[in-house]
Amino acid sequence: MELRKAQEMGGGTILISLPKDWVEHYGLKKGSIIAIDTTADGCLLIYPFKSEEKRMREMNIPYPSEDLERLIDKITGAYLLGCDVIKICGNKRINYKDRERIKKGVQRLIGLEIVEEDAYSITLQFLPEPATLNPTKMFVRMHMLVMGMIKDAITSLIERDEHLAKVVIERDDEVDRIYFLLVRMLRSAVLNHKLANTYGLSAVDCLDYRVAATILEAEGDAAVELVQNISIISKDLSKEFNDRLLKVGLALEESQKLAVKAFLSKEEKDSKKAEEANRNLYEILESLKIEFSQKPLPSLLTIISNVDKMYRCNVDISDLAVPIYPLVNKTTIEEFTNKSKNHFN
């Protein structure tokens, strides 16, 4: 880190010189336009205005591959890294079966479309403009889908509805699609401070959103596990246990809703409400464990295990709701002040 002393001009204007190496690297001179943005955490971003020009990030993936699934994983990896153009380049013709498998794999990646195609290659491009996307809206959309999955999973068990269980399993694919898009957006924001500023997110926010999204995705997986063997599980459930299961569903919905609200708001009052909802869910879960100890059926173990996973997911999201900015800013300012005094004295 380089420290520079501010100079004062007439009228109270404060000036600071730019590093010579940086100026020469970008070819700046008198009259050059320099853009300045303020980040959510109070930092200034300074960059040459010409850098606003969009530069396409490309990746080439060779075909054939020893394992087609590995090739599809590379496409997914390039997508998550924020590549704008992904080219599958073949030294021989891409056969029909592999071509269809690649297209099917691309379908789970929102915004990635085939723009060029011939016998030897497939060119994919991410079409949406990143600055027009909104990570918070994507996260809320993911939360609503997962909450609906949990509600329908519980209902399908109580009503022994195998069709509804299949709907829950299929909906998990949409959760995964949004999750992949959100990860791409967050990683791009970490690499591009201007994009992060457009999203209104700091580096810590990006990290927290990534962790919270991963937790939500795991909670959706737990809902799928809950109904995968519905015909076996539901036959062992008594009316009394179904009544308890209904209470579990309501408690899970309230717990997740308040945990996400607290995460987004970072308000202490919302955090306390989330903690109360989690405690209520914990007590209900403990009563289910007592039921299992009296009647140790594999079906009850499946339910308790997955409900416990969901409970822990909500607790983890609630933990991310603790506001850190006042603490971080205070510490940073004090450290910077002390270092500055030592440097200039």
Domains of the chain by start residue, with CATH: 17-52 (no CATH), 58-127 (3.30.110.140), 132-327 (1.20.58.220)
**Mean pLDDT, range 159-163, rounded to an integer:** 92
Dump the DSSP string for 119-142.
Answer: SSEEEEEE-S-GGG--HHHHHHHH
**CA distance readout (Å), 172 to 108, 133, 234:** 11, 22, 21
Q: What is the pLDDT of residue 40?
A: 64
Q: What is the pLDDT of residue 55?
A: 65
Is residue 61 packed enough to be buried (19+ CB in 10 Å), middle (13-18) or exposed (0-12)? buried
With cut-offs at 50, 70 and 90, classify the pLDDT of residue 28.
confident
β-pairing verdict for 121-126 and 112-117: antiparallel
Closest by Cα among 78, 86, 81 to 60:
86
- Residue 325: pLDDT above 50? no
Q: Show the tokens assigned to 303.
A: 């339910």
Q: What is the pLDDT of residue 51?
A: 47
Output phi, psi for 119, to 5 deg: -65, -25
Q: What is the pLDDT of residue 293?
A: 77
**What span, in angstroms and rounded, lies between the C-alpha atoms of 313 and 74?**
29
**What span, in angstroms and rounded, lies between the C-alpha atoms of 179 and 167?**
19
**Mean pLDDT, range 190-200, rounded to an integer:** 86
Compute the mean pLDDT over every residue in the chain, rounded to the nearest whole number.
Answer: 86
**Mean pLDDT, range 11-33, rounded to an integer:** 82
**What span, in angstroms and rounded, lies between the C-alpha atoms of 131 and 266?**
24
Q: Where are the alpha helices (DSSP H) in the chain?
A: 20-25, 68-80, 96-106, 135-159, 162-191, 193-199, 203-227, 230-233, 239-265, 268-294, 298-319, 325-344
**Mean pLDDT, range 117-137, rounded to an integer:** 94
Q: Show the tokens assigned to 12.
A: 């109270």
pLDDT tens string 37-50: 776 667 777 877 76
- Angle, CA of 169, 264 and 209, to the nearest 5°: 60
| Amino acid letter for position 162 | E
Of 15-19, 55-59, 89-93, 144-148, highest mean pLDDT: 144-148
**What span, in angstroms and rounded, lies between the C-alpha atoms of 111 and 127?**
6
With cut-offs at 50, 70 and 90, classify the pLDDT of residue 216.
very high
| 256, 314 Cβ separation under 8 angstroms | yes
As a dihedral over the C-alpha atoms of residue 120, residue 177, residue 211, residue 59, rounded to 10 degrees, the angle is: 20
**Mean pLDDT, range 248-252, rounded to an integer:** 94
With cut-offs at 50, 70 and 90, classify the pLDDT of residue 323.
low
Direct distance between the N- and C-terminal alpha carbons of the chain, in angstroms, rounded to an integer: 18
With cut-offs at 50, 70 and 90, classify the pLDDT of residue 332.
very low
With cut-offs at 50, 70 and 90, classify the pLDDT of residue 54.
low
**CA distance readout (Å), 73 to 65, 105, 118, 175:** 11, 9, 22, 18
Contacts of 31 (CB under 8 A, 6+ apart): none
Question: Which has the minimum average pLDDT: 54-58, 85-89, 332-336?
Answer: 332-336
Question: Which has the minimum average pLDDT: 118-122, 227-231, 295-299, 336-340?
Answer: 336-340
